Chain A
Amino acid sequence: MTSTLQTPRPESGASPIASSLRGRQLPRWVPPALTAAAVLLALVGVFGPVGAWLVLVGWCVAAVIPIWSLAVEGSRKAMDRLVTLLVSTAFAITLFPLGSILATVVSRGAPVLSSEFFTYSMRNIVGEGGGIYHALMGTLLITAAAAAISIPIGLFTAIYLIEYGDGTRLAGWIRFLVDVMTGIPSIVAGLFAYALFVIFFGPGVRMGVGGAVALSVLMIPVVVRSCEEMLKLVPNELREASYALGVPKWRTIVKVVLPTALAGIVTGVTLAIARVIGETAPLLVIAGLTDSVNFNLFDGRMATLPVFTYFSIIVPGVPPGPSIERAWGAALVLLIIVMLLNLAARLVSYFFSPKGER
């Protein structure tokens, strides 16, 4: 024992054992201090009056850490610090478009919002004035119709997958194809609805309910996946307790399984609605655009917010100014609706999910 303690001969420094085991390190305060300085510089660069080049300066300050580390700690540690820097940079880069989108849409859309903007349609309007009432109603109606189609189909499919067909080959295939269906391009869904309705109504058909069908194609797989996940979370003991009391299977599902999973199902459905309410391409193909209010899903063209936004900015007319302003306003309203739906979904899952499940 004594010999092993004495072998590292004191050459220099106060604690030879510690230094021989630890290797040289950057002073403790250096990485946090430099990181803080870099973040501060970047924030000033983005929000402050100086200019965006400060972001680059900030990054260079942060880049000092791996270089210094290479000199002091060696290549392995330096590599680790470099990767930390790169990974954080990747995250910062990703924040940029999000911030930029929110900032641009809010700053250019907010001045447009007024009571007239929400209560007027575009009927007989040239140039200034007018509003999104017709598009807002169209979006709400078509999305509601899509939800009315998708939620029962999606929910029952999820019930089949979990309660009836679990483990069967058919269920495996359906699960797989639902996953594949998630990736159907939105425009293809629109073309499908068009090709379907052309058979009954002839070429050039435009109809609100067609948009609802197209959106359902996009919405059903999302609903199925989220409902399936939620039904999976319902503990089997609950089902067995219900069976033991002699309750039939369907009543067990209706009275025990679904209420337990309700919060999750509501969350999933809300997120699915949020996903399709902003879809443009299918509605462009099958619902078209009109300047008037149309409450009838089965009668001709129907304006929707995304399509209205698209045409307002692509075909602004003369003079282009007011139309482009309306496009920003409509984009902001759309963004607010989607964000509110997302928020609602999170709140539902936060407050109403059974305790201890997730």
Chain B
Amino acid sequence: MGCPPGTTAPSERLTIVTSTQSPERRRTTPTRPGDRIFRGTSLAAALLILATLAGVAVFLTAEGIPGILASPDEVKHGTGFVDYVAPLVFGTLLAAILALTMAVPLAIGVALFISHYAPRKLAAPLGYVIDLLAAVPSVVYGVWGISFLAPALVPLYRWLEDNLGFVPLFAGPASATGRTILTASIVLAVMVLPVITAICREIFLQTPRLHEEAALALGATRWEMARLAIFPYARSGIISASMLGLGRALGETMAVAMVLSASGVVTFNLISSTNPSTIAANIALTFNEATGLTVNALIASGLVLFVITFGVNFAARAIVDRRKDFSGAN
């Protein structure tokens, strides 16, 4: 500082500075125009994101309301909006939940394999291989599902119908093309698997090393170590990863639109040729031929999908954030 050393107490110095036009004042960093512009731009960009998110909700609502209010004879499907969207919601939830029941256990297994079972040196490349699954475009999944997976599953569906036909899920008659809701769910499961795996893997790797070593030191086998140290630590992470996967599965469009031969019914029969449709697939399949209020009804169904996925993602992220605050292990 420029003041003579040891002569004034801090409070006195302050009064001196404020009472006179001393050179001290000019030492505070001046706000340069460049700084102000830069700060303003970045704040504007951040606020634009909030505006976009709000815009998605606002524009979908604005365009969707006429579709919700349309009378049955004004739209192509010829029913009220609730009757129209309810089977679609059912199909969406059914496909997504089926996909999750397959994907979550598999994803936990794969994540555990990569983080704790695979040789150290192989772990990173193996994780990269799984990430490749996430990079495959959805339309490629659709092409694969429709021309490889669906025909390949037909014998399995025949077998299920013959041997497990008494279970309502497999009542049949088995689809001859294999383009059933179960096939669509399998494709969905493959698509959400890398999402769930990636998050689980990260969390498994974050398990405190001391917890793991303590378990091993007490004589636990590797599996007991996983049960005692890893899973309790990672539980909320696994839940939120599954919910993020659920959000992805709910909103996935093309694979379902291509693989599923949908007729919009409400049924739990997984292997027949009459299947429930999903919101997203229904939009993709009918949007290009739709006119007038039918378009608005489709946008309204999109709004329903947005609300569902937003809710799921919101809850998942909230769990992740809470975990960050209270995990206590860090």
Contacts and interface: CB of A to CB of B under 8 A. Distances in A.
Tell whether A and B belong to one assembly.
yes
Interface of A: 76-77, 79-80, 83-84, 86-91, 93-95, 97-98, 100-101, 104-105, 152-157, 159-161, 163-165, 170-171, 173-174, 176-189, 191-192, 194-196, 198-199, 203-204, 217, 220-221, 224, 248-251, 253, 274-275, 277-281, 284-285, 288, 306, 309-310, 313-314, 324, 327-328, 331, 334-335, 338-339, 342, 346
Given A83-B223, A98-B129, 10 more contacts: A80-B224, A156-B46, A181-B52, A183-B312, A187-B280, A278-B136, A281-B253, A281-B280, A327-B143, A342-B135
A338 B252 CA distance: 19
A251 B321 CA distance: 33
Nearest to A213: B52
B42 A98 contact: no
Contact of A165 (B46, B252, B258): B46
Interface in B227-253: 244, 247-248, 250-253
Given A186-B253, A195-B299, A334-B137, A93 B60 contact: no
B133 A248 contact: no
Contact of A104 (B118, B147, B288, B291): B147
B25 interface: no
Contacts, number: 270
29 contacts: A87-B110, A91-B110, A91-B113, A94-B133, A100-B144, A101-B140, A174-B49, A174-B50, A176-B321, A179-B313, A180-B313, A185-B247, A186-B253, A188-B251, A188-B306, A195-B59, A198-B63, A224-B49, A249-B38, A249-B39, A250-B37, A281-B253, A285-B284, A310-B258, A313-B142, A324-B147, A334-B137, A334-B139, A338-B135
A253 B126 contact: no
Nearest to A250: B38
The secondary structure that dominates the B interface is helix
Given A88-B117, A179-B317, A188-B60, A160 B43 contact: yes
A197 B221 CA distance: 60
Interface of B: 32, 34-35, 37-39, 41-46, 48-50, 52-53, 55-56, 59-60, 62-64, 105-106, 109-110, 112-114, 117-118, 126, 128-130, 132-133, 135-144, 146-149, 190, 193, 197, 221-224, 226, 244, 247-248, 250-254, 258, 280, 283-284, 287-288, 291-292, 295, 298-299, 302, 305-306, 309-310, 312-314, 316-317, 320-321
A101 B138 contact: no
Contacts of B142: 280, 310, 313
5 interchain residue pairs of minimum CB distance: A185-B251, A278-B137, A90-B109, A156-B45, A183-B313
A174 B283 contact: no
Counting chain B CB atoms within 10 Å of each CB, the highest count among A161, A176, A284 belongs to A284
A328 B143 contact: yes
Given A100-B144, A188-B306, A250 B34 contact: yes
Nearest to B43: A160
A101 B141 contact: yes
A204 B295 CA distance: 9
Contact of B251 (A86, A184, A274): A184
B106 A93 contact: yes
A248 B32 contact: yes
Nearest to A276: B137
Contacts of A86: 109
Given A159-B42, A183-B248, A188-B309, A177 B49 contact: yes
A76 to B, nearest CB: 6
Contacts of A196: 55, 59
A260 B283 CA distance: 44
A165 B146 contact: no
Given A160-B43, A164-B43, A280-B254, A184 B49 contact: no
Contact of B139 (A176, A220, A248, A306): A306
A141 B45 CA distance: 23
B148 A309 contact: no
Contact of A157 (B42, B149, B222, B288): B42
Contacts of A178: 49
B284 A187 contact: yes
A205 to B, nearest CB: 11
Given A180-B317, A196-B59, A280-B137, A94 B193 contact: yes
A181 B53 contact: yes
A345 to B, nearest CB: 10
A87 B117 contact: yes
B309 A184 contact: yes
Contact of A195 (B46, B63, B226): B63
A80 B53 contact: no
B43 A185 contact: no
